[in-house]
Structures are given as structure tokens and as C-alpha cells.
Amino acid sequence: MHLKRLELNGFKSFAKNTAFELPSPITAIVGPNGSGKSNCAEAIRWVLGEQSMKSLRGKRGEDLIFSGSHSASRMSKASVTLVFDNTQNQFPVEFDEVALSRNVYRDGANEYMINGSIVRLKDIIELLAHVGLGSSQHHIIGQGEADRILYASPKERKEMVEDALGLKIYQIKRAEADRKLERTGENMKQVEALRKEIQPHLRFLKAQAAKFQKTEELRSELERTYTEYLSRETFSLESLEGTLSGKKHEPEKELADIEKQRKDIEESIAKARKESTSSDEGVFQEITRELALVREKKGKLSREMGRIEGMIDALKRPMQGVSLDDAVSREDVEELIAEVEGMLTSALEEDVIDQMQSFIQEALERVSSFFSRIDSAHVKVEEQPATDLKKLTDEKQKVEKGMHELDAQEKDLLEKEKELGGSLHGHEKKLRELERALYNLDATGNRMKDALRNVSIEEERLRLRSEEFAREKQEAAHYIPVDTLPKAKEALGEQDREKMRRDIARLKFKLEDAGGVDGMVLKELEEVGERDSFFEKELGDLEKASADLKKLSGELSGKLEEEFEKGISKINSEFQKHFETIFGGGKAELRLLKIKEGGEEDALGEDAPQKKSQYANGLDVYVNLPRKRIRGLDMLSGGERALTSIALLFALSSVNPPPFLVLDEMDAALDENNSRKYGQMLGNLSKGTQLVIITHNRESMRHAGVLYGVTMGSDGISKILSLKLEEAVQYSK
């Protein structure tokens, strides 16, 4: 890596955009005093992050901006850019060319850029630390600063040596680790304070959450018990309702059938009774009565017929002294006989008992009257003609025939009486059977009614139980959705029912006793718990980070001490070598110091007991010139101090060559002999480090590959020229 180009625009006397190409290991910038050549060294120092305006020969940022002249107006900003070749990736960026820029404005604002992107000063410092360019800027020796390292304090000198050894990156990392460790400690305190602050509330929330959890467990158990109870009780009531409906259906159906049968039987009984009363029984009784009368009349008729027969016999005998004309006319007798005959015929044809009885009675009366008249008249009947007698005989036969027919009728009545008697007995038997069936039917109906009454009692119990269940269900609606109960498959026994009701009452009492806790407490507990967990994790992370940072800081400190100790040994070796080259002998070394409180210093060098380097916090320079009894820097002349500084600076650059060195008139106090030695040392040093020298020394110019001349015209603006050696020597005067 090497410095390719230096660009200035508006920086101090370089009002116009000016570029120094730096292709050679040694580039010399020459020019008369006041031309502005030292501004080049200051520009490099400034762009690399210098914050001290005193080191830049100014008081404020505005002093770095071209202030104008009689022919040129002032600039609004100053800008400097350093362009590095990064093809070997010494800068940890993926660019073959790295351009570091810094701008300053009239208001004092500064702007840093890497390859055109605005960055922080910290980014610039860290980037430079990777290539061994530290903030002490030991690699830039300004005008009059040749012996700066000798007059620096032990701490400053130590920092310059650490920068030269490339330990700045470790210091930055350690400082960053320490800053992070400090911030981590502060964060830990803040997190601990925050966590401590929420602990009382967290404990309260946990207690409330535990109470809520218990309440929820009770509620869950109550819901589970309620659900089972309501489901099974619903199943029980529905089953019982179905059972009662079944129990009720059969008796009701049977009662309906019984009622129908009873109606039919009652109708049959009524019909049987009606038939028995209005027909057969009446006829039977009438036949019996009439039969008795007929028999009685028949007896009378028989007796009268006997008399008729006797009189007929008497008619056959000649009657003397009796005249029938005086008593009964012939026509009367014939008429009477005709009436009797007609009435008998009519009675037989109509088969009417009453008419027969009337007829017999009337016939008997007429016959009796007839014979009475005959008897009382004492008339003398004339002898009947033979025809009349025959007629009477025929009539007698007809009467006899009628008597025979009456006998047949009597027989028929007797048969009917017998038949009607059997029929009446059958009716009575049937009626008794119907009445017995009706009795049995009523008994069965009474049993059905008893069964229905029992069912009604059970239905009333079911109704009361259902009403009670409805109230329980309404109360349960405060705890569970009663409209979406699961279907139970098992009915609830009485013991289980009472037990579950007791369990529900117990759980409700416990739930009420537990008190209400807002469910939002869980959300709040979750949030506070998450915060506490976050703080706990954060503390864990911070503790781990703190431990890691402590470990890193320790490792970096160890690395620093190790590298510093090795570096001091190498620097002292090179310091001694260059010191001998310049002074022809003698001794020079850097000694470690422990600075005590109050500013006392303990030397840890050759003349002091060796102690661990970790106790050193400063460096002292020890020199012993040949052939002189000089041991302190304050005893050296100006030239000797300059040469000692050169020897030490070159020793630092030899041990850990920086990318470049800027030397501003470091050779100003050297005589010709020492100038030659200085020139040789520049040549040797340029093999590992790019050199930009600002000089008036011819020997120094002779080793430069590129020479730039800086001049300033009447407009107060610095300009550059590319020169040859002889021109440069002449130009620098």
C-alpha cells in the first residue's frame, strides 16, 4: 500500500484544486520560505483526523480555508483528499483505491468521507489504525518538531511508540471494549433497577394470577360438573318423560278401547233388555195368561157343548107342546150358529187370543141366552125338519172342529210358551254374561284409571322436577352456555343427582368465596412477566457481554503488553543501531517507567530491577554519547537532539514500517556530514516506507524520485511545479 495522490482545494494558500502525484518512494517538496510548502504536511495531518488547531497553526476551522486576496475571493470551504492504493487490501474495505477526504466550512462544521461516503471521525481513525497510522501522528514530523518525541511526556512518548508499533488498533479495540463494558455496567444497573421496580407489582400479579387460576380451576370444575349434571339430568327428564308417555299411552288406549267395548256392551244389554221386555217376555206372560183363560173357557165351552149335544139329542125327539116360533125363530138360531161359525173361523184365521176370548164369551152368552129362552119359554118346539137337524149336526161338527183347532192352538201356545221360555232364559243368560263382561271391563278400566292416576302423580313430580331443573339451568347459564349442551348417554341416578347437586353448591360457594379476579390480570402478568423475562434475559446477556468484554479487554491488554514488550526490544535494537551510525558509538535505549501518584517515576530499565512491563505507563529516552559523560537529554545540544530524534524515528519506522512518513525540514539543523548520513538513512528507510519530505537540503533532494516546487505569486495562492534536482536546489533558495 502506498500514498498515490494528495489533493488540496481551498486549504490555506492552495486556493485552487491542486494535486500532488506521489509515485516514487521518496517525494520531495521544495520551495522558498512562505511559499506554502509546509501547508502540504499540515493538510496530510488534518485529513488524517488532527483535532488540534495549534498543530495546524490556526485557532479555528475557518482559519484553514483560503481567506482570499486582492485578486481572488475567499473560499467557502477547504477540502483535502488522500488517495491510497489498496490493491493488497491492507485497508479492510473492498476497494482497490481508498480516498480519505475532509471538508471544513465557514461555520466550523467538519465533514469526513471515505470514497465519497460521509462517515464519522471514529471510522477514519479505526480505518487508519488497521495500517498503523495512529492518532499520535508520529509518522508526520512538522516543521520544528524534529525533537518532538524527545520532549514529549513519558505517557505521550509511550503513545507514539505504541502507534509506531501498530498497537493503536488494539488500543482502540480495548478502549471500545472498556467503553462497552462501562456502558454495559450502566445498562446492567438500569436493568436491575427497572427489574427491581417491577418486582412488587409482579409478585402482586402472580398472587392475583394464582387466585385467578384457582378461580378458573373452580370455574372449570363447576362448568364440567354443571355440564355433566345438566346433560344427564336432561337425558333423565327426557327419558322419564318418554317412559311416562309410554306408561300413559297404553292405559289411555286401553281405556279408550274399554269405553268403546263398554258402550257396545251397554248397547247390547239395553237391546237385550228391550227385546226381552217388549217382545218375548210380554208375549210369554200374555200367552201364559191367555192360555190359562183359554183352558178355563175351553172347559166351559166343553160343558156347554155337552148341553148343546143334549139339546140336539132332544131335538131329535119329538117335542110336544113346545112351539119354537113363540120363543126363538128358526132364523135366529141359524143366525146365531152362523155368527158362532164366522167368529170361530175369524179367530182361527187371525190367531188373536183376545178376539177368541171375546168370541167364546159372546158365543157362550148367546148360546146360554138361547137355551134360557128355550127353557123359560116352555114353548113347544115344532119338530125340525130333517134338514135342520142335519144342519145342526154339521154345525156341531164345525164346533167340534173348532174345538179341535183350539186344542191345536192350545198346543201351539204351549210350544210357543216353551220356546219363549227357553228364549227368555237365553236372553237372561246373555244379559248376565254381558253384565259380567261389563263388570270385568269396569274393573279393568278402574285398574287403568289407577295406573293413569299413578302416571299423573309421576307427571306432576316430573313437572315439579322440570321446573326446578329449569331454575337450575337458568342459574347455570351464568357459568356455561346451556343451549349447546352435549348429548348424554346415561341417565342420572338419584344418588348421583344429589351428589352432583351438592358438588355444584360446594363449587359455587368456593367460587364466590375466592372472589372475582379480572381476567386482564393474566394479560398484565404476561406483559409484566415478559418485561421481567426480557430484563432477566437482558441481564443475562449483559452479564455475558460484560464477561466477554472483560475477557476481551484482558486479552487485548495482554496482547498490547506482549506486543509492546517485544516492540520495545526491537526498537531499542534499531535505536542503538541508528544511534551508532549517526554518532559512531555510544548507547541509546527506551526505558519503561512506572509513574506513581504525585508524578514520581520509577525506572524499569537497565539500571533498575526488571519488572513486568504491565507496570509501565510511560517511556523515557536514555542516551550515552561516545567520549562524553552525557546521560540526560537536557544535556544534549540542538544538533545532538535532532540526530537522536532522527535515530529514534527511523528506529520506530524500521521495526514497523508505516505506509508513509512526512518529514517537514527535519534535516534543517544538519551539517553536511550528517546530511549525507541522513540521506543514506532516507534511502534505506524508503525501501519499506514511502517518504514525503519537505526540505531545503541538497542531500535529501538527491534521494528523491520526484521533486515538486511550491511557489506563491502576488495573488497569495500557492502553485506547484515539477522540477529536476538542480532546478529544485536553485528553486528552494
Q: Give the tens place of pLDDT for each residue, 417-472.
A: 677 766 667 777 887 888 888 888 888 888 888 888 888 898 898 889 889 888 98
What per-residue confidence (pLDDT) applies to 115? 95
Domain 1-131+662-675+682-733: which topology? Rossmann fold (3.40.50)
Question: Which one-letter amino acid corresponds to residue 80?
Answer: V
Quick check: 538 pLDDT over 90? no
Q: All 3 cell numbers of residue 300? A: 166351559
Q: Is the pLDDT of residue 561 over 70?
A: yes
Residues in the chain: 733
- Residue 474's contacts (CB-CB under 8 Å, 6 or more residues apart) are none
Among residues of the chain, what percentage have pLDDT more than 90? 19
Band of pLDDT at residue 192, cut at 50, 70 and 90: very high
Domain ranges (residues) in the chain: 1-131+662-675+682-733
User: Residue 567 is placed in which grid cell?
Assistant: 516492540
| For range 92-105, the mean pLDDT | 94
Q: For the chain, count helices (H), then strands (E).
A: 16, 15
Q: Which of 405-419, 572-586, 612-626 has the highest mean pLDDT?
A: 572-586
Q: Where are the beta strands (DSSP E) in 212-349?
A: none
pLDDT at 485 over 70: yes
Sign of the C-alpha dihedral, residues 278, 284, 289, 294? positive
At residue 491, the pLDDT reads: 80
Q: In what order do the strands lie in the sheet with 110-114?
A: 18-21, 3-9, 77-85, 97-105, 110-114, 117-119
Residue whose C-alpha is closest to residue 225's, from 433, 446, 501, 628: 501
Average pLDDT over residues 139-153: 78
pLDDT of 46 reads 93
d(CA 169, CA 151): 25
Give the model's confidence band at 372: pLDDT under 50 very low, under 70 low, under 90 confident, else very high: low
578: cell is: 541508528
pLDDT of residue 381: 46
Task: Read off the pLDDT band of 334 (50, 70, 90).
Answer: low
| Backbone phi and psi for residue 538, each to the nearest 5 degrees, phi listed first | -60, -45
For range 402-412, the mean pLDDT: 76
Q: How confident is the model at residue 370 (pLDDT cuts 50, 70, 90)?
A: low
User: Of residues 380 and 307, which shows the higher confidence score?
Assistant: 307
Q: Are β-strands 110-114 and 117-119 bridged in parallel, bridged antiparallel, or unpaired?
A: antiparallel
- Compute the distance between CA of residue 13 and CA of residue 32 in angstroms, rounded to an integer: 14
- 399 vs 357: which has the higher pLDDT: 399
Pick the closest to residue 225 from 48, 426, 440, 476 (CA basis).
476
What is the side-by-side strand order in the sheet with 618-624? 601-603, 587-595, 618-624
Which stretch of DSSP H or E encloses residue 501? helix 494-514
Higher pLDDT, 460 or 280: 460
DSSP letters spanning 230-266:
HHHHHHHHHHHHHHHHHHHHHHHHHHHHHHHHHHHHH
Q: Which of 56-65, 320-329, 491-500 has the lowest mean pLDDT?
A: 320-329
Q: Does the pLDDT at position 400 exceed 80?
A: no
Name the least confident of 170-184, 237-251, 480-494, 588-602.
588-602
Using the predicted structure, report yes or no on whether residue 398 has a pLDDT greater than 90: no
Contact status, residue 605 vs residue 589, Cβ threshold 8 Å:
yes
- For the segment 652-702, what is each residue's pLDDT rounded down to a tens digit? 888 888 889 999 888 887 888 888 888 888 898 898 889 999 998 888 888
For the stretch 3-46, pLDDT in tens is: 999 999 999 999 999 999 999 999 999 988 889 999 999 999 99
Lowest mean pLDDT among 182-186, 307-311, 556-560: 307-311
Give 51's pLDDT tier (boundaries 50, 70, 90). confident
Residue 378 banded pLDDT, cuts 50, 70, 90 = very low
pLDDT digits (tens, 9 = 90+) for 286-304: 777 777 777 777 777 777 7
Taking the C-alpha atoms of residue 37 and residue 18, their distance in angstroms, rounded to an integer, is: 12
What residue type is 528 in one-letter code?
Answer: V
Answer with the residue of higher pLDDT: 549 or 427.
549
Q: Which grid cell sits at 11?
A: 486549504
The alpha carbon of residue 520 and the mean position of all alpha carbons in its chain are separated, in whole angstroms, by 15
Which range is least confidently modeled, 373-377, 401-405, 714-718? 373-377
Smallest CA-to-CA distance from 693 within 14, 26, 25, 56 is with 26
Residue 105 has pLDDT above 90, yes or no: yes
Lowest mean pLDDT among 421-430, 509-518, 555-564: 421-430
**Cell numbers that stand for 726 in this block:** 538542480
Q: What is the pLDDT of residue 190?
A: 92
**Beta bridge pairs of residue 141:** 663
Element of type H or E holding 592: strand 587-595
pLDDT at 649: 87
Greater confidence (155 vs 347) lies with 155
Can you give the pLDDT at residue 325? 47
Q: Which of the four pLDDT bands, split at 50, 70 and 90, describes residue 364?
A: low
Strands 690-694 and 18-21: unpaired
Asked if pLDDT for residue 599 goes beyond 60, the answer is: no
- pLDDT above 60 (res 178): yes
Give the whole-angstrom CA distance, residue 239 versus residue 462.
11
730 pLDDT band, cuts 50/70/90, is low
pLDDT higher at 583 or 317: 583
Q: What does the alpha-carbon distance between residue 439 and residue 260 come to, in Å, rounded to a whole number?
A: 14
Residue 279's pLDDT band (cuts 50, 70, 90): low
Q: What pLDDT score was predicted for residue 613? A: 43
* 3 state SS of 478: coil
Hey, CA dihedral for 434, 438, 443, 445, is it positive or negative? Answer: positive
* Parallel/antiparallel/unpaired status of strands 97-105 and 77-85: antiparallel
Could you give the C-alpha distances from 428 to 273, 289, 433, 442, 696, in angstroms and in order? 9, 21, 8, 20, 173
- DSSP labels for 93-112? SS-SEEEEEEEEETTS-EEE
Q: Is the pLDDT of residue 144 over 90?
A: no
| Closest to 97 in 3D by CA, of 79, 77, 82 | 82
Mean pLDDT of the chain: 81
CA distance 478 to 223: 10
